[in-house]
Chain A
Amino acid sequence: MSNRVLILFAHPLFEKSRVNKTLVSDYPAGVTFHDLYEHYPDFNIDIEKEKQLLTDHDIIIWQHPIYWYSCPALLKQWIDLVLEAGWAYGPGGIALKGKSVFQVITTGAPEHSYHEEANNRFTIRQFLAPFDQTATLCKMDYLPPFVTHGSHRIHKDQVDEQTAAYHFLLDYLANNDLDIEALKKYNYLNDWVKENQQL
């Protein structure tokens, strides 16, 4: 069995991004890469086209850097416009039912700063609650995020390692039946990759 995977990519300054550039280079075949800032530089999102893309895929990935504990503006605009009432949620809104969605994010700060005791005071999963609930309201399965922390000072080897992990994940998602409930138990999908990549 195979799943059709869609990466909705949102990065306003992709040309200067080191980590994300590597993450999406040579991604596995069969994955649709959709560069939102390149398609909608003026934020004029083609809603019908985006809905069609969603319809045509089974697994949706929101890939973006974390800015101010959230996503870049265009992705928020995308969520506001595309996930229409009566289509994605609400009465009759079942277009996305049964699809899975998760986030692939990068943060400047290291993982340990995202803790109750640390300066960011909340965990990444807590910050992502709005996305979790958005997916849930749209009757989608919200999976744990795939996170690259500390992008400010990350070493090239570490970036390559992350990229390999990400591509392994993409490849697996595209070509296997998923045990959604099992995946949901992880904190980050990075942890699932670590367990399975080593096998």
Chain B
Amino acid sequence: MGKRKPTTMTSDFLSQALVYLGAAVICVPIAKKIGMSSVLGYLLSGIIIGPFVLGFIGKEGQDIMHVAEFGVVMMLFIIGLELEPAAFWKMRKAIAGFGLSQLFGTSILLFLVFISMGWPWTTAISAGLTLTMSSTAIVLQTLKEKGLSQTTAGQASFSVLLFQDIAVIPILAILPLLATTAVVADEAHPSLLSGLPAWVQTILVIAAVGSIYGIGTYLVVPLLRVIAKTGLREMFTASSLLLVVAVAFLMEMVGLSPALGTFVAGVVLANSEFRHELESDIDPFKGLLLGLFFMGVGASINFQLIQEAPAQIATLVLLVLFIKFIVLFGIGKIYKLNIDQNFLFALGLSQVGEFAFVLLSFTGQLNIIDQEWIGKLTAITAISMMTTPLLLLVHEKFIHPHFGIQEKPVEKPGDTIEEHHDVIVAGFGHFGSTIGRLLRANGIKATILDNNPDQVELLRRMGFKVYYGDATRIDMLKSAGIESAKLLIAAIDSPETNSNLVHTVRKHFPHIKILARARNRFDAHELMETGVSHVYRETLYTAVQLAVDALGELGFRKHTATRQGQKFIKFDEKALAKLAASRYDMKEYALNSKDEIAIQEKLLQNDLLLSFSDNDHSWDSNFVKEAILGKDPGGASTK
């Protein structure tokens, strides 16, 4: 993969970059806005700028794809990083079980289809194997975007895809054996080893994979430490890229899948301290290259071929999708996925994947399949990729609501009623997760809602029951069990969203008690106006605690400082309530920074007037003396 050299000039590069980036920036947000995944947005923008619509790019689409396939390589590296060796080892049975049955089931059925079309068996086998592959790029990207990676369907999909990634290697090895013509120089995968005898190749291949482990552990990690110490951020990025490129290159050299190689490298580095840095460094490149890859797929669909034989192509696309779906659905049934998850699993993997492009160009060179069919199969592959986002949309809109319940993580399938806790925590960032931890430490299980998929994934790994979704949606709140819950903790980071949530809940579920997070006194005002009395300003308690410690550092007795802090909080909350009432006097919607300063000023003046610290005479013997001693020297009960 990705061995083409850029042959164009700089101005060409700029205009091309303009076209690709422009198309992506316009199409992807539109796709997102109307509820489709970004993958579909990229595919559509590829078609639009491609040779058959606007014609901004011609056959370079193919070239671009070779570069962009590197996005898949990076994605597998990141997947490896997120998967510790122990977790990977745990999944081995699932990978073998799901993967093996999918590979054999699908390719045998497809083989029978092609045989029935009168193809020679060698052609039928290679076409069958090729179309059996599903798209790692589309599926994992989509699952991640929808926050479904940790669902049972997500895990099963991952197992199948990983197995396919591994299976590509033996398939590439088998294909030449099917060739009727003499083996042509392997241009798609130039391998240094081609000339060597088979057993030497085998040894070298094993050695290459082994060396990833050795080099990763004993060379890369120490090297990264050195580079990290230089403090040069871009050097670290460069070395992350170098690492991925080097591994991919090594794999290509020995004729292995670069994707598999980087995946192994990722797993090896998953336990190192640089896991997150590597991940965040590679991630933007991966995203952009994947986007480019999807655009390349869109642009490379040969509409001319489709126009010539629309019925044939359409039938084959549907047939391939159907066969893949049926096999996957059957496997899902055997492994007892519940029906909703099974649909997600089977529909999600029903497309033909990017490995098909590789395998097709290879089989083309081997003359196993003729050029016309290579073109058609390429078109089928690309079209089938287009269907996935649509099928998943259908799943989300029709199948999922129908079969209900489970987009949630399912350790114990079917116990949704048990999942309805008394407490719902909306927003599980640093603020909400602290609340969740303290509750959990006291045996209180909460239903947690968050709409950051990465955060959700992380917390699920940590054993929290976190549901992905927009907490301000009424249906989401209902499925989280708000109707039977007692307490809603509104802890969303964005004050606007949090306020929306509180408004929605006050309006539709007035029975529930709300404890709301507020950023500052102005947010607090707004929340108090909705009738919520439990408002917690994140700027109050921490700041007071800091001031208390500051007083301590300045020589105040700690206990005195603590009491002053406690009193200050009471005082400030009273002042807030008073001001909240008077806020109506002001032009409500014109609360600008000038008004904020005016309010601050008022607060500061009140501090001086009330001077609550002077009123404190607890334990003060002078006060006791003055109050009592003059009249009755013996009556003092205090010191």
Contact = CB atoms under 8 A, between A and B. Distances in A.
* Chain A interface, DSSP helix/strand/loop, else mixed: loop
Contacts of B636: 108-109, 152
A151 B621 contact: yes
Contacts of A72: 619
A38 interface: yes
Contact of A37 (B558, B618, B633, B637): B558
B397 interface: no
B625 interface: yes
A136 interface: no
20 contacts: A13-B620, A15-B556, A38-B557, A39-B558, A65-B621, A65-B638, A65-B639, A66-B639, A74-B559, A108-B621, A108-B624, A108-B636, A109-B634, A109-B637, A110-B634, A119-B635, A152-B629, A153-B625, A153-B629, A153-B633
Contacts of B618: 12-13
Q: Which 8 interchain pairs have the tightest Cβ spacing?
A: A41-B558, A41-B562, A65-B639, A41-B559, A13-B619, A108-B636, A37-B559, A113-B634
A41 B565 CA distance: 11
B566 to A, nearest CB: 9
Contacts of A16: 619-622
A133 B562 CA distance: 33
Interface in B595-639: 618-622, 624-625, 629, 633-639
A15 B638 CA distance: 17
Contacts of A65: 619, 621, 638-639
Interface in A134-148: none
Contact of B559 (A12, A17, A152): A12
A69 B639 contact: no
Contacts of A103: none
A15 B618 CA distance: 13
A118 interface: yes
A2 interface: no
Interface in B542-561: 556-561
A116 to B, nearest CB: 14
Interface string A55-77: 00000000001111100101000
Contacts of A66: 638-639
A14 B560 CA distance: 9
Contacts of A110: 633-634
A67 B638 contact: yes
Contact of B638 (A38, A108, A113): A108
A120 interface: yes
A152 B627 CA distance: 12
B639 A106 contact: yes
A41 B561 contact: yes
B546 to A, nearest CB: 15
A113 B556 CA distance: 34
Contacts of B634: 109-110, 113, 118-120
A119 B637 CA distance: 10
B460 to A, nearest CB: 33
Contact of B558 (A17, A38, A67, A68): A38
A72 B621 CA distance: 14
A67 B639 contact: yes
Given A13-B560, A113-B634, A119-B634, A151 B629 contact: no
A162 interface: no
A39 B557 CA distance: 10
A14 B619 CA distance: 10
Given A12-B559, A38-B557, A41-B559, A69 B620 contact: no
Contacts of B619: 12-13, 16, 65, 67, 72
A15 B639 contact: no
A12 to B, nearest CB: 5
A151 B561 CA distance: 25
A38 B559 contact: yes
Nearest to A12: B619
A13 B619 CA distance: 6
Nearest to B637: A68
A126 to B, nearest CB: 15
A119 B636 CA distance: 10
A42 interface: yes
Contacts of B624: 108, 152
Contact of B625 (A38, A69, A74, A152): A152
Contact of A17 (B562, B621, B625): B621
A108 B560 contact: no
B562 A108 contact: no
A108 B636 CA distance: 6
Contacts of A42: 562
Interface in B418-456: none
Contacts of B560: 12-13, 15, 41
A11 to B, nearest CB: 8
B621 A152 contact: yes
A87 to B, nearest CB: 25
A3 interface: no
A66 B624 CA distance: 13
A38 B558 CA distance: 5
A32 interface: no
A22 interface: no
